[in-house]
Structure 1
Amino acid sequence: MSTENGPAVGAEPRGHRIVPGPKGLPFLGNMPQFARNPLGFFERLRGHGDLVQWRFGPNPCVFVADPECIGELLTETERSFDQPALGIAFRTVMGNGVVVARGTEWRRKRSLVQPSVRPKQVRSYAATMAGSTVELADSWSGEEIGKEFAGIGALLPDWVPTPGRARIRKAAAVIDAEVGRVVARHRDGGAERPDLLSRLLTAVDETGAHLTDEEIRDETVTLYIGGHETTSSTLVWAWYLLSRNAGARAALHEELDRVLGGREPEFDDYARLAYTQSVVKETLRLYPTIWLVTGVAKEGARIGGVPLPEGTRVWSSQWATHRDERWFPEPEEFRPERWDAETGHPIAEYAWFPFGGGPRVCLGTRFAMVEAVLILAVLARRFELEVDPGTVGPVPTLTLQPDRQVLATVRARRAD
């Protein structure tokens, strides 16, 4: 049997079946519904079932909400699913870095970039993470601090000019100039330094070749966005949630006082700061920086035991799955204790996947977790941030961002 929304559907021995989603428009499909509110649209699709048909423009799509099937999508990337061709906005900013590259080129770039973010290297960056945060914190006092993807542009050829694309090109030119300046400064420094960019500049593949200047630019921007913008957004959401939950804030302060005893955190403290980690994990559950993953079915691809026509685009959303009450009781509640290994609720594999998974899992996963935990520890040990009590909503752009400037009153913690 088939439906107007896409490929044939049918039940399989595992019990999964693809069900029709909301009715779409000719040519546009469900794009208008998606464009108005992507996060809400994915939540509505989840309400239809675990495997749901819909259309992004004329393209047949399947939305996946079951963690087992999400795991298949993530772990079968490169074998059963291709990385989709990302839009011009994404490619203009990211270039052809490891996140965008595919096939042999992706494997080469991954082999060059991965060593710079392995656990041993992350340990060496930890002192810089904490030290830079301490330097910032020392300057604080009581004060206030502070859609091409979803629209019709996603269906337009690259050569069609739009105001949004012009703004993206202008922003990319600023990024290129700044990256060029930083790279030139590192190259002029002579001897290798123990930082991430220096390791990229000296990395060689199996043929002895270095990354080209263009590749250095692309990987630097990829790591900057992955290691800075994502962490800063996560910490904004963390303070927003903590300021609304006095119990969680008190538990965080108790752990920091007990583990650190008045000193600044170091890398070895990361494993000891279990509740601080839970705060970050719970923040990433409610406000995942990366809010969707996609793949394009190759010939012979299956999901949940159901065969998919070649070219079907498969989508899954961290936002929707992370807020599914089947996997997270009281899903809208900020409850860091749910991550406690002894007392927390069991969490299904791939019910929480803020960094993706499988062969294309975010290379900087450990880097990002260590960075977020150490920065939160440095600041929360010294300060309480009371975020403006107004509601802050999420805006799904390249990453999940607050819908307005988030202001906070900074108060020094009083010693007991």
Structure 2
Amino acid sequence: MTRQAGPDAGTRATQPTATIADGPRGVPLLGNLPAFGKDPLAFFEQLRERGDFVRWRFGRGPALFIAHPDAIGELLTEVERTFDQPDLGIAFRTLLGNGVVVAKGADWRRKRSLVQPSVRPKQVRSYAATMAECAVSLADRWADGQRIDIKKEMAALTQLIAVRTIFGVDTAADAESIGRAMDIAQKEIGAEFSGIGAVLPDWVPTPGRARIKRATAVIDAEVSRVVSRHRDGDTERPDLLSRLLAARDETGARLSDREIRDETVTLYIGGHETTSSTLVWAWHLLSRNPRVREALTEELDRVLADHEPGYDDYAALTYTQAVVKETLRLYPTIWLITGIAKEGATLGGAPVPAGTRVWSSQWATHRDPRWYGDAETFRPERWLTGEDGEPAEQIPEYAWFPFGGGPRVCLGTRFALVEAVLVLAVLARRYHLDLATDDIRPVPSLTLQPDRDVHATVRARG
């Protein structure tokens, strides 16, 4: 089956019947956790080199790493049937509660039905103007020759967009505090997930867990304040929070205050943290690849001419979309997905014992040379179609899955793609950003983040 390359399409790879290879030897009690915790991205690439199905041990528990796109597709499409959503730990639950990303079974289906209408294409269209307006405001503040920290600039921009589209206000009471709290929480979640905290019982206190609790308290206080203001208002608002407050399930029941809090935080992270890091990596890659940067600006000049981009321009900005997709290939914001095998689970025609934790990594599969020519090269053209309508590269389905897939695909996929494309179009149309250094390493925390501040010089075009 051949389809156009894109977020929901691809060609089916030819998957052999699963032959399970042995992973590296672990240590008593901890298994392969020390190697995983030291460098998760390199660890998954090493497993990929051993085969498409590799046994390893996450602490005492059995684990299976899968690298083949068809197996990944099986995992993603069979979740809720033969694979279960795993418990991602006390740190993750402290921040996200039991939101739609974490919930299971009937509870997940109910919450998904309530949240999904808020991020459908029709609603994303209504948010697009806010995305562009916020980006234009930032562009107006930049000046030729100015030195900026891209990481801070993109975080502040996407935070403003998130606050306006989710909460319907211009600014949170203390936007800087909530931003710092989010940074602390996601850093500590990454440390917990890849360190000794991953095998410690929930009741064991650690300094990292204490920091997450304090950061979450700051976030909760701000969300509670804004929710109270919305409940007290007597006018209908077009923001995400208002839609969540008005949503009713099939029995007529609304989301509880706790559920509103959990879904709001989940949407905030999806609309702020993930897009922010994607844009930072995009600027990093564009600075290193002048040819791609020139091709991008040529499209922006041709399609936009003398107007700022809006939702109706999104479909025509094909190269800009390709830049974003290629950025998400090389630096996927979400860098791993896991599931727990239930009775009767299979992958690649082979049975998977119940209780086995199955892992797949966007980082490892997105850089697999079997599916991508010059896999380490930033080449947006691979996502374009020719005059005959055929894709430039035949990319297998589920060889690109930055937003997951199957029934639990990220609800904010359309929101995130439109936001990244419009923000990039507004800013790249006016400026080039020249990074001070290429020596930036990805750090896998809750999302894939640069390991340092990213400084650049603003260069006005023309």
The code of the aligned residue for 1:231 comes to T
SS state of the match for residue 294, structure 1? strand
SS state of the match for residue 193, structure 2? coil
The code of the aligned residue for 1:367 comes to F
SS state of the match for residue 53, structure 1? strand
**Structure (1/2) with the larger helix percentage:** 2
Gaps spanning 5+ residues in structure 2: where? 1-14, 150-190
2:385 aligned with 1:351, yes or no?
no
- Measure, in 1, the Cα distance between the counterparts of 2:16 and 2:42: 28
- CA deviation vs aligned residue, 1:244-264 (integer Å, no higher than 9, x gap): 000000000000000000210
Structure 1 residue 43, shift from structure 2 partner: 0.1
Contact 1:233–1:401 (CA<8 Å) still a contact in 2? yes
Gaps spanning 5+ residues in structure 1: where? 1-12
Contact 1:192–1:199 (CA<8 Å) still a contact in 2? no
How many residues are paired up? 402
**Pick aligned residue for 1:384 from 417, 432, 445:** 432
The code of the aligned residue for 1:380 comes to A
- CA deviation vs aligned residue, 1:296-341 (integer Å, no higher than 9, x gap): 0000000011101100010000000000000011111111111112
The aligned counterpart of 1:95 is 97
Structure 1 residue 14, shift from structure 2 partner: 4.6
- CA deviation vs aligned residue, 1:374-401 (integer Å, no higher than 9, x gap): 0100111111111122410000001000
The code of the aligned residue for 2:49 comes to G
- Measure, in 2, the Cα distance between the counterparts of 1:384 and 1:321: 31
Contact 1:95–1:218 (CA<8 Å) still a contact in 2? yes
Trace 1:11-410 onto structure 2 (pairs within 5 A): 14-142=16-144, 143-146=146-149, 147-342=191-386, 344-410=392-458
Structure 1 residue 226, shift from structure 2 partner: 0.7
- Measure, in 2, the Cα distance between the counterparts of 1:229 and 1:144: 23
Structure 1 residue 209, shift from structure 2 partner: 1.0
Contact 2:334–2:402 (CA<8 Å) still a contact in 1? yes
Contact 2:288–2:438 (CA<8 Å) still a contact in 1? no
- CA deviation vs aligned residue, 1:199-247 (integer Å, no higher than 9, x gap): 1111111111111111111000000101111001000000000000000
- Measure, in 1, the Cα distance between the counterparts of 2:438 and 2:211: 30
SS state of the match for residue 138, structure 1? helix
Q: TM-score, normalised by structure 1?
A: 0.95
- Measure, in 1, the Cα distance between the counterparts of 2:294 and 2:16: 45
- Measure, in 2, the Cα distance between the counterparts of 1:386 and 1:178: 36
The code of the aligned residue for 2:274 comes to T
- Measure, in 2, the Cα distance between the counterparts of 1:260 and 1:243: 22
Deviation larger for 113-122 or 127-136: 127-136
Contact 1:227–1:367 (CA<8 Å) still a contact in 2? yes
- Measure, in 2, the Cα distance between the counterparts of 1:148 and 1:236: 24
Deviation larger for 253-262 or 186-195: 186-195
Deviation larger for 390-399 or 341-350: 341-350
Identity %: 72
- Measure, in 2, the Cα distance between the counterparts of 1:306 and 1:260: 52
* Displacement over 6 Å in runs of 4+: none
SS state of the match for residue 316, structure 2? coil
Structure 1 residue 409, shift from structure 2 partner: 1.1
Contact 2:345–2:354 (CA<8 Å) still a contact in 1? yes
- Measure, in 2, the Cα distance between the counterparts of 1:225 and 1:25: 35
Contact 2:72–2:398 (CA<8 Å) still a contact in 1? yes
The aligned counterpart of 2:8 is none
SS state of the match for residue 107, structure 2? helix
SS state of the match for residue 288, structure 2? coil
